[in-house]
């Protein structure tokens, strides 16, 4: 952790592209979704294939699409930097920002795709082509080069680890399922104004508490919703971005955090994980902090992750997030409104817009900071704090600001 | 580098008590160390390699083997080529006592089908903190325990379950006759 931030405000997000989220996009491929988003992002920035000289990305469930495939499919004529990134999306964005800052490329295309596959969703398993989408891929931690570890139900790698730590959190601090439920209810209330959100029917606390139990204490509404979809972003220098079509959104500060051991079942404690480290590193790099930001984007692949973001980023102490949410609850809007002013995941988050490992959070922050969010525009939004990724081996932080 | 475990950790046996790479504490003299061929045959769907095979050979002997460093004495899971605490290469598999507590616990109400696992009412998946060292944990299910007695903090002991014809570790309430 250095606190150095020589690239502060020097790199910008100059374009966004979306392949719309849906519970099921049907007979399509992950590459098709990705390309739809990529073309939209390049055009959004007012650029062409010849302008893109950097490519970075990757998706989650299939192992993702390699940059070479994207270069081929988009016919990019001259690429001088590329990297394959493991989700969540901040890995992709930080790699792109660093590459542009270092001069490895001038205009980086960042892509992130999600494609429902057999073994992950029942409806996807009904499609024989989606069943084959993971053919040959290793299970569990074997996918990370760590020999063999079983997937569920024998291992905590992934969802079960979050459930187990949620259970320990509730027991340790006297927190309740209602504390988790506030995250889910708030997201759903916000999603009503987001046409890209796949879940827009209002969710009450009673409805939340009656949700089908999946991995105790996490129920159906504590876990993000599987979707097909993709996002893409154009990252370039702020100087270049100012000459392009859209208002630049500046990367003010970015951080990552990982601590040993990062395995879910081995973490020494929630305060010892990567999430609070990413928060501390971001705090050291950023001139803007909690009193300066207009929107908060805690990652909500699981409600417990978002709940902990309020603690790790300093809104309250460990074990106090439930009370903090109760104190900052907008009863009329059925949502969290920090200090009556700062909305939380105004697009509905991964729980309601769709699970995209933070890509939706970044897109929404950029859209809001451009002033292009329509009915859900946060008035006067100038800065956003994003607390992305999970607890263990993929925690990240980001401060974006308008130019 | 993380510091080595202090020698004041009195629950750790002294190094003189251990001979990691020589004869292991031999509680089952009749069982010879399984061969590479045998472990490959008994765990056909496991991504075996030249480090982790010692763990699976241990399972065939009903031993739960954990990485232990001969230099600093620290225990780690899973098996690693070097000690994560002191980077010594003198680290290798040593059987643990099998005593521990439930540190993390969830009940899975859904999961992959076809494994013979009953998710009705919630299949328990635990992170067991082993008695050998704070923070030393393994993942396993808990058996022989009524749902209302299974909780974080429960004292447990190692037992064995069958998966696809091979023994795998599980835990059960400590000291309770089955």
Among the partner residues A147, A160, A213, nearest to B125 by beta-carbon distance: A160
- Which of A254, A305, A239, A309 lies closest to A284, judged by CA? A254
Cβ contact (<8 Å) for A155 and B139? yes
Write down the pLDDT at residue A121: 72
Q: Please report residues of B whose CB lies closer than 8 A to that of A212.
A: 109
**Residue B129 pLDDT exceeds 60:** yes
Mean pLDDT, to the nearest integer, of A53-67?
A: 88
Among the partner residues A148, A217, A265, nearest to B139 by beta-carbon distance: A265
- What average pLDDT does chain B have? 86
Q: Closest approach of chain B CAs to the CA of A325, in angstroms?
A: 25
Whether residue B119 is found in the same domain as residue B80: no
- What average pLDDT does chain A have? 95
Assembly ipTM: 0.91
Percent of chain A beyond pLDDT 70? 97
Whether residue B23 is found in the same domain as residue B91: yes
**CB burial string A28-56: b at 16+ within 10 A, e below:** bbbbbbbbbbbbbbbebbebeeebbbbbb
Whether residue B90 is found in the same domain as residue B123: no
Counting the structural domains of chain B, the total is: 2
> What's the Cα-to-Cα distance from A260 to each of A148, A387, B79, B88, B133, rounded to whole Å?
19, 20, 15, 17, 16
Write down the pLDDT at residue A395: 96
Mean pLDDT, to the nearest integer, of B47-51?
A: 91
**Residue A201 pLDDT exceeds 70:** yes
Among the partner residues A146, A155, A214, nearest to B109 by beta-carbon distance: A214
Q: C-alpha B71: how far from its chain's center?
A: 21
Dump pLDDT digits (tens) for A247-293: 999 999 999 999 999 999 999 999 999 999 999 999 999 999 999 99
> What's the Cα-to-Cα distance from A288 to each of A144, A283, A395, B77, B133, rounded to whole Å?
35, 8, 20, 40, 42
**Residue A128 pLDDT exceeds 90:** no
**Residue B26 pLDDT exceeds 50:** no
Write down the pLDDT at residue A135: 74
Write down the pLDDT at residue A125: 82
The answer to whether position B4 is within a domain reads: no
Write out the residue range of the structural domain in which residue B27 sits. 15-95
Write down the pLDDT at residue A64: 81
Bigger pLDDT: A58 vs A269: A269
Q: Please report residues of A whose CB lies closer than 8 A to that of B47.
A: 138, 142, 147-148
DSSP string across A296-362:
EEE--SBHHHHHHHHHHTTSS-TT-HHHHHHHTEETTTTEEEETTTEEBSTT-HHHHT---TTHHHH
How many interface pairs between A and B have CB atoms less than 8 angstroms apart?
93
B4 pLDDT band (50/70/90 cuts)? very low
- B95, B111, B136 — which closes off a domain? B95
The answer to whether position B81 is within a domain reads: yes
Pair B148, B177: CB distance under 8 Å = no
Whether residue B71 is found in the same domain as residue B109: no
Among the partner residues A142, A148, A163, nearest to B106 by beta-carbon distance: A163
**Residue B18 pLDDT exceeds 70:** no
Cβ-based neighbour number of residue A196 at 10 Å: 20
B9 pLDDT band (50/70/90 cuts)? very low
A120 pLDDT band (50/70/90 cuts)? low
The answer to whether position B9 is within a domain reads: no
The answer to whether position B5 is within a domain reads: no
Dump pLDDT digits (tens) for B132-169: 999 999 999 999 999 999 999 999 999 999 998 999 99
Mean pLDDT, to the nearest integer, of B63-90?
A: 96
Whether residue B152 is found in the same domain as residue B113: yes
Place of tokens 């499609």: A127
Which of A94-98, A380-384, B16-20, B99-103 comes out lowest in average pLDDT? B16-20
Whether residue B111 is found in the same domain as residue B78: no
Strand-pair partners of A337: A343
Whether residue B131 is found in the same domain as residue B76: no
Q: C-alpha A309: how far from its chain's center?
A: 13
Cβ contact (<8 Å) for A153 and B107? no
- pTM value > 0.95: no
Cβ contact (<8 Å) for B84 and A260? yes
- B95, B130, B150 — which closes off a domain? B95
Mean pLDDT, to the nearest integer, of B24-43?
A: 78
Mean pLDDT, to the nearest integer, of A226-248?
A: 97
Q: Closest approach of chain A CAs to the CA of B33, in angstroms?
A: 21
- Which of B62, B86, B89 lies closest to B74, judged by CA? B86
The answer to whether position B10 is within a domain reads: no
Q: Which of A120, A138, A142, A153 to mutate to test the interface with B (most CBs of B within 10 A)?
A: A153
Write down the pLDDT at residue A141: 59
Whether residue B114 is found in the same domain as residue B48: no
Residues of chain A contacting B, Cβ within 8 Å: 119, 138, 142, 146-149, 151-156, 160-161, 163-165, 167-168, 171, 212-218, 260-261, 264-266, 268
Strand-pair partners of A338: A342
- B55, B71, B95 — which closes off a domain? B95
The answer to whether position B46 is within a domain reads: yes
Q: Closest approach of chain B CAs to the CA of A376, in angstroms?
A: 36
The answer to whether position B109 is within a domain reads: yes
Whether residue B56 is found in the same domain as residue B110: no
Mean pLDDT, to the nearest integer, of A99-110?
A: 98
Write down the pLDDT at residue A1: 77
Whether residue B150 is found in the same domain as residue B83: no
Whether residue B68 is found in the same domain as residue B21: yes
Closest residue of A to B55, CA-based?
A148
Closest residue of B to A160, CA-based?
B106
> Residues B137, B143, B145, B149: what is their CA dihedral angle, to the nearest 10 degrees?
30
Among the partner residues B46, B104, B112, nearest to A265 by beta-carbon distance: B104
Whether residue B77 is found in the same domain as residue B35: yes
Cβ contact (<8 Å) for B104 and A156? yes
Among the partner residues B47, B104, B141, nearest to A168 by beta-carbon distance: B104
The answer to whether position B3 is within a domain reads: no
């Amino acid at each position: 952790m250095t606190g150095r931030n020589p690239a502060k405000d020097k790199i910008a997000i100059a374009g966004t592209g979306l392949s719309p989220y849906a519970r099921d996009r049907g007979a399509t491929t992950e590459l098709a979704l990705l390309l739809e988003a990529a073309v939209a992002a390049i055009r959004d920035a007012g650029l062409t294939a010849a302008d893109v000289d950097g490519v970075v990305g990757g998706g989650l469930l299939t192992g993702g699409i390699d940059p070479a495939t994207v270069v081929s499919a988009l016919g990019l004529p001259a690429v001088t930097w590329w990297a394959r990134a493991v989700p969540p999306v901040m890995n992709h964005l930080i790699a792109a920002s660093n590459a542009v800052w270092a001069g490895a490329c001038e205009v980086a295309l960042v892509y992130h795709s999600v494609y429902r596959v057999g073994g992950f969703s029942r409806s996807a398993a009904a499609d024989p082509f989606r069943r084959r989408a993971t053919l040959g891929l290793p299970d569990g931690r074997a996918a990370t080069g760590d020999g063999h570890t079983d997937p569920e139900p024998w291992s905590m790698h992934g969802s079960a680890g979050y459930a187990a730590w949620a259970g320990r959190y509730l027991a340790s601090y006297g927190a309740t399922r209602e504390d988790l439920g506030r995250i889910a209810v708030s997201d759903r209330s916000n999603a009503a104004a987001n046409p890209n959100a796949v879940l827009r029917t209002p969710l009450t606390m009673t409805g939340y508490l009656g949700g089908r139990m999946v991995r105790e204490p996490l129920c159906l509404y504590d876990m993000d919703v599987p979707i097909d979809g993709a996002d893409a972003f154009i990252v370039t220098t702020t100087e270049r971005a100012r000459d392009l079509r859209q208002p630049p959104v500046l990367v003010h500060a970015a951080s990552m955090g990982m601590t040993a051991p990062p395995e879910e079942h081995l973490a020494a404690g929630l305060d010892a994980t990567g999430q609070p480290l990413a928060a501390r590193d971001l705090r050291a790099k950023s001139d803007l902090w909690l009193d300066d930001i207009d929107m908060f984007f805690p990652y909500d692949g699981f409600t417990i992750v978002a709940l902990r973001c309020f603690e790790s980023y300093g809104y309250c102490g460990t074990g106090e997030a439930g009370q903090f949410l109760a104190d900052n609850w907008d009863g009329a809007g059925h949502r969290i409104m920090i200090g009556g002013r700062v909305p939380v995941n105004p697009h509905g988050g991964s729980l309601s817009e769709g699970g995209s490992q933070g890509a939706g959070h970044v897109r929404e922050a950029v859209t809001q900071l451009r002033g292009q969010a329509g009915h859900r525009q946060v008035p006067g939004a100038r800065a956003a704090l994003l607390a992305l990724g999970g607890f263990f081996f993929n925690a990240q932080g980001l401060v974006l600001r308008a130019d | 580098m993380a510091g080595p475990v202090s020698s004041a950790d009195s629950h750790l046996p002294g190094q003189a008590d251990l001979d990691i790479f020589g004869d292991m504490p031999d509680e089952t003299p009749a069982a010879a160390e399984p061969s590479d061929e045998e472990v490959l045959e008994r765990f056909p769907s496991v991504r075996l390699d030249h480090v982790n095979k010692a763990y699976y050979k241990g399972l065939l002997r009903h031993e739960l083997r954990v990485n232990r460093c001969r230099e600093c004495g620290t225990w780690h899971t899973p098996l690693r080529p070097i000690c994560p605490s002191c980077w010594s290469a003198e680290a290798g598999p040593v059987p643990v006592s099998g005593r521990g507590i439930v540190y993390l616990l969830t009940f899975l109400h859904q999961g992959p089908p076809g494994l013979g696992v009953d998710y009705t009412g919630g299949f328990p998946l635990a992170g067991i903190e082993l008695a050998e060292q704070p923070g030393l944990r393994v993942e396993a299910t808990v058996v022989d325990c009524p749902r209302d007695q299974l909780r974080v903090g429960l004292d447990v002991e190692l037992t064995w379950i069958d998966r696809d014809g091979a023994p795998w570790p599980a835990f059960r309430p400590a000291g309770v006759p089955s």
